[in-house]
């Protein structure tokens, strides 16, 4: 099956064109149904494509004179969106020239341009950034929001739960995903008013939403494998994600230091190498690359700026799977099941009268 084209911001990321093209080429070698629209400096893209003959019949180039840097503020990026590789990739989705967009560029700029260009879905107040985290179980856990919204009310959290559950069904195949709200404790009295209100709403709507909801989860249980979706505000989510990533790097660095500390340790490394290689693979962020902006009228995937070609290929694979499984339509259907407005909860800025 041939998928709609995937628009790639070829200029984003730490290494730019070379890695973005190489990652897309790697994804196509694995799945020849992928087709691409590369947005960026046409000369540099052509030069990178020269090393990947398998891409010639599968891609088109959309020239962009401008690039959004990591230092650009969202407002600055919005004003220049029409001339930048990032803005042109997203606009291709809006115009129907591509089914989805992938960028490794400035996250704040990507969110701002995506939200203004594609708009939020009916029944969704704010889009959320969702990603997959590895666990000790046989499933990855979907976590959102990871930084798009630093302050959220109960209504936002419940909407995030609807979107996260839809995404989880795509990646896990579980019809009733196990969902929890991130909190400082599991007791019902713990947490903010917004968390407790959202928990009550989700408990009442669990059957309609086809989720298994059992209250709160603490941060040390994120990767235990007994939860499919963890919902939180973007401030807490971003801190939790970076703490998990930092811990993974710490463990890896500590193991390398320990195994190189003496001849005996080096011998021990040789014996345990199969296990350490498995650990390295499991903790490598490139193997879980591809965060998704959920809640937009179109699919936008954010790759790590530091991702290598394998990481970019993984982000492309995530994008393709979301296209195949029609995740946007699934979210729309789930919202419809809990009422025309999506939720009973009133927006925090609405007049209570």
Q: 344 lies in a domain?
A: yes
Whether 151 shows a pLDDT value over 80: the answer reads yes
| Residue 161 sits in the same domain as residue 97 | no
Q: What is the radius of gyration, based on Cα positions, of the chain?
A: 21
Asked whether 86 and 77 are in contact (CB, 8 A), the reply is yes
Whether 268 shows a pLDDT value over 70: the answer reads no
| Residue 49 sits in the same domain as residue 138 | no
Given 102, 118, 134, the domain boundary residue is: 118
Q: What is the CATH number of the domain that holds 114?
A: 3.40.718.10
pLDDT in tens, 200-211: 999 988 888 889
Q: 29 lies in a domain?
A: yes
User: Among candidates 34, 47, 48, which has minimal Cα distance to 6?
Assistant: 34
| Residue 78 sits in the same domain as residue 33 | yes
In sequence order, which residues have a C-beta less than 8 Å from that of residue 243 and are 6 or more positions away? 219
| Residue 202 sits in the same domain as residue 258 | yes
- Gap between the Cα atoms of 4 and 2, Å rounded: 7
Whether 352 shows a pLDDT value over 50: the answer reads no
- 3-state SS assignment for residue 244: helix
CA distances from 164 to 23, 158, 167, 230 (A): 26, 10, 5, 8
- 3-state SS assignment for residue 172: helix
User: Within 10 Å of residue 206's Cβ, how many Cβ atoms?
Assistant: 16
Domain count along the chain: 2
| Residue 144 sits in the same domain as residue 261 | yes
Q: 182 lies in a domain?
A: yes
- Gap between the Cα atoms of 106 and 127, Å rounded: 17
- Gap between the Cα atoms of 123 and 296, Å rounded: 11
| Residue 221 sits in the same domain as residue 103 | no
- Segments forming the whole domain that contains residue 230: 121-293+318-353
Q: 335 lies in a domain?
A: yes
| Residue 196 sits in the same domain as residue 337 | yes
pLDDT in tens, 5-64: 999 999 987 778 999 999 999 888 887 788 899 999 999 999 999 988 878 788 999 999
């Amino acid at each position: 099956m041939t998928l709609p084209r995937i628009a790639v911001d070829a200029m984003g990321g730490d290494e730019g064109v070379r890695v973005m093209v190489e990652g897309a080429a790697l994804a196509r070698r694995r799945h020849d149904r992928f087709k691409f629209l590369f947005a960026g400096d046409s000369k540099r893209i052509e030069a990178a494509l020269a090393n990947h003959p398998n891409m010639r019949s599968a891609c088109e180039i959309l020239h962009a004179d401008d690039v959004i840097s990591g230092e650009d503020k969202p407002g600055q990026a919005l004003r220049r969106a029409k001339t930048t590789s990032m803005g042109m990739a997203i606009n291709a989705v809006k115009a129907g020239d591509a089914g989805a967009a992938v960028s490794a560029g400035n996250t704040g700029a990507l969110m701002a341009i995506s939200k203004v260009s594609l708009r939020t879905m009916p029944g969704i107040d704010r889009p959320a950034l969702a990603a997959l985290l590895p666990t000790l179980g046989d499933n990855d856990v979907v976590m959102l929001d990871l930084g798009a919204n630093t302050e959220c009310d109960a209504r936002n959290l419940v909407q995030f739960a609807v979107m996260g559950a839809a995404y989880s069904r795509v990646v896990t195949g579980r019809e009733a995903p196990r969902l929890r709200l991130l909190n400082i404790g599991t007791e019902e009295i713990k947490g903010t008013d917004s968390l407790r209100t959202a928990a009550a709403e989700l408990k009442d709507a669990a059957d309609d939403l086809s989720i298994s909801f059992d209250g709160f989860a603490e941060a040390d249980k994120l990767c235990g494998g007994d939860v499919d979706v963890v919902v939180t505000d973007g401030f807490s989510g971003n801190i939790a994600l970076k703490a998990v990533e930092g811990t993974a790097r710490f463990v890896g660095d500590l193991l390398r230091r320990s195994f190189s500390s003496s001849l005996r340790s080096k011998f021990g490394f040789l014996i345990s190498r199969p296990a350490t290689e498995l650990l390295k693979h499991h903790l490598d962020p490139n193997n879980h690359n591809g965060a998704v902006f959920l809640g937009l009228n179109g699919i936008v995937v954010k790759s790590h700026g530091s991702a290598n070609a394998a990481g970019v290929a993984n982000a492309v694979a995530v994008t393709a799977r979301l296209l195949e499984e029609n995740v946007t339509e699934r979210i729309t259907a789930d919202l419809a099941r809990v009422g025309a407005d999506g939720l009973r909860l009133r927006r925090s800025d609405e007049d209570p009268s």
